[in-house]
Chains A and B, each alone.
Chain A
């Protein structure tokens, strides 16, 4: 009996996250450039909500992952735990993940998703870029379990 269902669930969750990251990133960049993006405003608001919810829930898992010193977590989908471990490692990897927000707690970052100042918007753009790198790398494993490599 197949275990593809684990990868399918993880794929779906990660894709939704990626959509939210990209939508908010494009919208924020256009705001920074002074270009009206009314068409995407509603989608950007939804993306903000989705990311805030995710970051707050993910914060709990990441904290536990940091406290357990590499021990596997209980009561958590293994793919979600792997993402948390990657996040913990990424925070230490300053060569690849540059965003200052990346070093803050996830719940603090969640409060910065609706910036009004230009410098905060720029910080958000950099944060979303780092988050996207992490999520895309994680997505790779699911894609290759569900779909065959060519």
Chain B
């Protein structure tokens, strides 16, 4: 066993050194330099762990072998994570990443919890790896990285990072909401012919499901708080063609699901838009989704996982969560129809302008966008 472990640790050390060397030699954009340094520090930490395992093997104590095996396995999976996931954003780095990286850096710099926290970009479906102990990676589909219109969706992903930064308080607020929903359901006589036990089980499942649903609705609220209308446009446009399951899911798929049905998220988003002073935009947003639903013959039904009487409870919880997380909020000038100024306007103003330009005249949008991206990169590079 000792020899097996020695071989494995020597092999891991060789691979760690190779990764370290490749990451070190990579020529990266200035926005990725801190992230690159973070990966190199971890590679060094992994290398030291491998050497410690070899020193522990040299003690020739059989009773330590299970511990050294576990440490070797831990090292191997840690290394895999860096080799397969976190090194990618450096080694795949392209000049075109600069647009996304500048937006992400601006986002991180405008919040005390994430100020100077390095982050990188990877390819794939929208997502984030938000554990502050790891390098932060934002994930976005290829073509969406190249334009302005879908960048506001990073603001939703940033919400997940804010949740983790304030996890204990957030969990407490979500727990209160879950209890309130459970109490509300408990106080209502059972409508269908479920046994008392089955009814209690179902009520519990609904309350539990709201743990993850609340986090998603909170992230949508963070997205709107930061981006304003551009977030609502991006969110709706990106998701409204994703298919029937954006509008309806059977009860069995709703139970313990990770995301609420998107149509429900649209209602919460519209509620936020309305409360921010844009009733017409909120109505338009909901109407568009209703039209698509009607075309598919879908009737709104959440099988008890959402009822209108939940709305005030959820709204209050989300408002409290926003107070705790305190994201940067868009300013009047960020949503004003005034021309975006590369020297003085925020990126949020740029993204709102992009949506206004696109909705006004999609045909001439691409040439405007190209110039706007150049101006943005030039001004934010100084």
Contact = CB atoms under 8 A, between A and B. Distances in A.
A2 B68 CA distance: 34
Contacts of B64: 26, 29-30
A26 to B, nearest CB: 5
A124 to B, nearest CB: 13
A19 interface: yes
A19 B75 CA distance: 10
A73 B207 CA distance: 9
A138 to B, nearest CB: 13
Nearest to A140: B77
Given A12-B133, A35-B59, A147 B85 contact: yes
A139 B175 CA distance: 25
B85 A9 contact: no
Interface in A1-22: 1-6, 8-9, 11-12, 15-16, 18-19, 21-22
A78 interface: yes
Contacts of A77: 171, 211
A18 B259 CA distance: 30
A1 B84 CA distance: 20
A146 B172 CA distance: 27
Given A2-B124, A5-B129, A71 B204 contact: yes
A1 B159 CA distance: 13
B156 interface: yes
A75 B175 contact: yes
Contacts of B131: 5, 8-9, 12
B67 A22 contact: yes
B66 interface: yes
A1 B238 CA distance: 11
Given A2-B124, A2-B139, A74 B178 contact: yes
A143 B77 contact: yes
B70 A136 contact: yes
B127 interface: yes
A74 B208 CA distance: 6
Contacts of A143: 77, 80
Interface residues of B, number: 52
Nearest to A27: B67
A147 B80 contact: yes
A74 B70 contact: no
Contact of B81 (A3, A25, A75, A146): A146
Contacts of A26: 56, 64, 67-68
Contacts of B179: 74-75
Contact of A22 (B70, B172, B205): B70
A33 interface: yes
B74 A19 contact: yes
Interface string B116-132: 00000000111111110
A103 interface: no
A75 B125 CA distance: 28
Contacts of B77: 15, 139, 143, 147
A105 interface: no
B74 A33 contact: no
Nearest to B132: A12
20 contacts: A1-B156, A1-B259, A3-B127, A5-B160, A6-B212, A8-B130, A15-B74, A19-B71, A26-B56, A29-B61, A35-B61, A72-B256, A73-B208, A74-B182, A74-B211, A75-B172, A75-B178, A78-B256, A146-B81, A146-B85
In the A-B complex, the 9 residue pairs with the smallest Cβ-Cβ separation, listed nearest first, are A75-B175, A2-B127, A74-B178, A72-B208, A3-B258, A12-B131, A26-B67, A1-B126, A8-B129
Given A5-B129, A5-B130, A25-B67, 19 more contacts: A1-B259, A2-B127, A3-B127, A8-B134, A9-B131, A9-B164, A11-B81, A18-B70, A19-B74, A22-B70, A26-B56, A26-B68, A72-B256, A74-B179, A78-B211, A132-B70, A146-B81, A147-B77, A147-B80
